Amino acid sequence: MDTNGILEKRQLPDEEFVALWDAIILDPSIKDRLLGQAILNYTMRSKVNRAAVPLHGVILLVGQPGTGKTSLARALAAQTSRLVRTANQFLFVEVEPHALASSALGRSQKAVTELLGGTIAEIAAVQPCIVLLDEVETLAADRSKLSLEANPIDVHRATDAVLAQLDQLAGRYPNLLFLATSNFPEAIDGAFLSRADLVVTLDLPTPEACYAILADTLRAMGQAFPKLDKLAKASTLNEAAQKCVGLDGRRIRKLVAAACTFDREVAIDPNRLTMAHIMRAIEHEQQELHKAKGNHQ
Ligand SMILES: Nc1ncnc2c1ncn2[C@@H]1O[C@H](COP(=O)(O)OP(=O)(O)OP(=O)(O)O)[C@@H](O)[C@H]1O
Ligand SMILES: [Mg+2]
């Protein structure tokens, strides 16, 4: 990682990110809306009066952990770069939020200003740029909920700095788009939410999505262990999918691998995996989820 708060940079479109677009299984209308908004950022923002159409170039994805926000943001960046015609290549930049949220007094405000007003502005001056602000609640914490005792004044100032920089950048660089994600929308400052051009909530997968995620995971494992490809087509997969409802996409993908761990023989040769093992892994996950919910009440 760079010392300046950037986790990574990639030229777009990037093959790995492009593949994520299909891997994240969601209502297609949600994907269309996101892509439409991202494209509009590049077709409209430079041409309209900001006072009349106050677009900031910010799209926010919210949802529970494991619902695909980060993956979808990366995929959206790649798809946008494929569909928008520009003279220069798109650059993807991922910000490391925790590197900026330093507790040392005065540092995070300075770090935010340097990153957004310095590094990001310099990139946006020469090429179209899409910036991922993952876990944005750490960067734009709700000032009304921060107690001054528990949070140094610097945290408040960091939010102020983010908002000020967003306003500056929005005015100067219409070829800059921020994709922000959060598990805790209630912890994000209202002024940041107000600047978002589109807020989309990713829900837990529907039964149909659970089916598609199970099948996709089995097919991916089937490239190495061909018998798993047959399980992806089994009629009993539908029943397994129904039982997954309530689990997030990450849990569902992981439980297919976890199903190989109940029986040593299957761990040694994953081709021996059966639907019964998968059912057992689903039950295990549902029980764990139930316990976790109990602990939170
Ligand atoms: N709807 C979905 N369809 C297919 N796969 C999914 C879905 N949701 C999550 N996944 C898978 O779960 C994994 C985690 O996804 P991702 O990191 O994007 O989630 P997230 O919402 O950003 O989670 P967190 O809030 O914990 O950061 C990825 O491997 C992704 O493919
Ligand atoms: Mg994430």
Interval 127-139: pLDDT, tens: 999 999 999 998 8
Instruction: Answer yes or no: are the C-beta atoms of 21 and 90 closer than 8 Å.
Output: no
Mean pLDDT of 2-18: 89
Beta carbon of 13 within 6 Å of any ligand 1 atom? no
Instruction: Please give the single-letter amino acid code of residue 175.
Output: N
83 three-class SS:
helix
The residues with which 201 forms a beta bridge, in sequence order, are 62
With a CB cutoff of 8 Å and minimum separation 6, the contacts of 224 are 270
Tell me which ligand sits closest to the C-alpha of residue 244.
1
Cβ–ligand 1 distance for 174 under 6 Å, the answer no
pLDDT of residue 102: 59
How many angstroms separate the CA atoms of 43 and 274, rounded? 50
Cα of first residue to Cα of last residue in the chain, in angstroms, is: 38
Phi and psi of 223, rounded to 5°? -65, -30
* Nearest atom (ligand 1) to Cα of 135: 27
Q: How does pLDDT run across 213-237, given as a tens digit for each residue?
A: 999 999 999 999 999 999 999 999 9
Does ligand 1 have an atom closer than 6 angstroms to the CB of 25?
yes
Cα separation, 216 vs 232, whole angstroms: 7
| Residues within 5 Å of ion ligand 2, judged at the Cβ atom | 69-70
- What local confidence, expressed as pLDDT, does residue 294 receive? 85
More confident residue, 145 or 215: 215
In the reported structure, the alpha carbon of residue 148 is separated from the centroid of ligand 2 by a whole-number distance in angstroms of: 28
Q: How, if at all, do strands 176-182 and 58-63 pair?
A: parallel
* CA-closest candidate to residue 128, choices 159, 87, 99, 169: 87
User: Which domains are delineated in the chain?
Assistant: 6-202 (3.40.50.300), 207-296 (no CATH)
Give the pLDDT band of residue 293 (cuts 50, 70, 90). confident
Band the pLDDT of 27: cuts 50, 70, 90.
Answer: very high
Residues 6+ apart with CB under 8 A from 269: 225
- Residue that is written with structure tokens 């107000």 in the block: 194
For residue 64, is pLDDT > 80?
A: yes
Pairing mode, strands 198-202 and 58-63:
parallel
Residue 56 has pLDDT above 70, yes or no: yes
Tokens found for residue 267:
């761990």
Strand spans (E) along the chain: 6-11, 58-63, 91-95, 129-133, 176-182, 198-202
- What's the mean per-residue pLDDT of the chain? 93
φ/ψ region of 95 (left if φ > 0, alpha if ψ in -120 to 50, else beta) reads beta
